Structure 1
Amino acid sequence: MSAPRFGSLHDGPAPAAPGAETFTELLRAGGARVERIASRAVRDGDWYEQGWAEFVLLVAGAARLGFADGTEHPLAPGDWVHLPACCRHRVVWTDPAVEAIWLAVHLP
């Protein structure tokens, strides 16, 4: 039997430069993957279109997600989104004054 693991989403690597993001895998089990993402001053980030569903929670900061149909959705701490498989999306903006911290759960 393995021991419990503890941590804080506020601890982890910061983005290397404005507009960058860091991805830290926290856990992988049962086909799911849990990841901490940190971003700062993102403007019109890369498009993602993954072959799996993803649950994303904004823990800190402020952000706006954009979608292939041209819509955008603002996020504040505590807001979450379920992105179905093959949902084309990107981070359009994160607050440049504070690091955005995300919790992403990639579902099998």
Structure 2
Amino acid sequence: MRDGPSPATEGTETFVELARTGGARVERIASRAVSGGAWYEQGWAEFVLLVAGGARLAFADGTEHALSPGDWVHLPAGCRHRVAWTDPTAETIWLAFHLPAGPG
């Protein structure tokens, strides 16, 4: 076990890989006061758990999904999404589980 990364500064996100095995990996993401982040459209599924703070994810169809601590979302491969907002008053901490493509 190691100490975590430095806290995220306003308008930024930091990514730290915590584990990798069998094609899957786990990341700790810290963000603060992010709005309108970059779009992601990954070739793998991702399970995201919000640990602390608050956030909204935006999707290509124009919908948004608010997240509070303990909330989670499963993003299928190819799901176009981005961070629309994170709490400007406190660091938002996420655990992202990147899942390998299954048979199919």
From 19, 26, 35, the counterpart of 2:27? 35
> 1:18-57 maps to which residues of 2 (within 5 A)?
18-57=10-49
Task: For residue 7 of structure 1, report the CA deviation from its aligned partner.
Answer: 5.8
Uncovered stretches (5+) of structure 1, i.e. residues with no partner = 1-5
> 1:1-108 maps to which residues of 2 (within 5 A)?
6=1, 11-15=4-8, 17-108=9-100
Structure number having the greater strand percentage: 2
How many residues end up aligned between the 2 structures? 100
The amino acid across from 1:93 in the alignment is W
TM-score (norm 2): 0.92
Query: What is the RMSD of the two structures over their aligned residues, measured on CA atoms?
Result: 1.2
Question: What are the superposed Cα offsets for residues 66-101 of structure 1, whole Å, 9 maximum, x if unpaired?
Answer: 000000010000000000001000000001000000
Task: For residue 57 of structure 1, report the CA deviation from its aligned partner.
Answer: 0.2
Task: For residue 33 of structure 1, report the CA deviation from its aligned partner.
Answer: 0.5
TM superposition outliers: structure 1 runs of 4+ over 3 Å? none
Separation in 1, partners of 2:18, 2:5: 10
Instruction: Give identity over the alignment, percent.
Output: 73
**8 A contact 1:40–1:100 mirrored in 2:** yes
Separation in 2, partners of 1:7, 1:68: 36
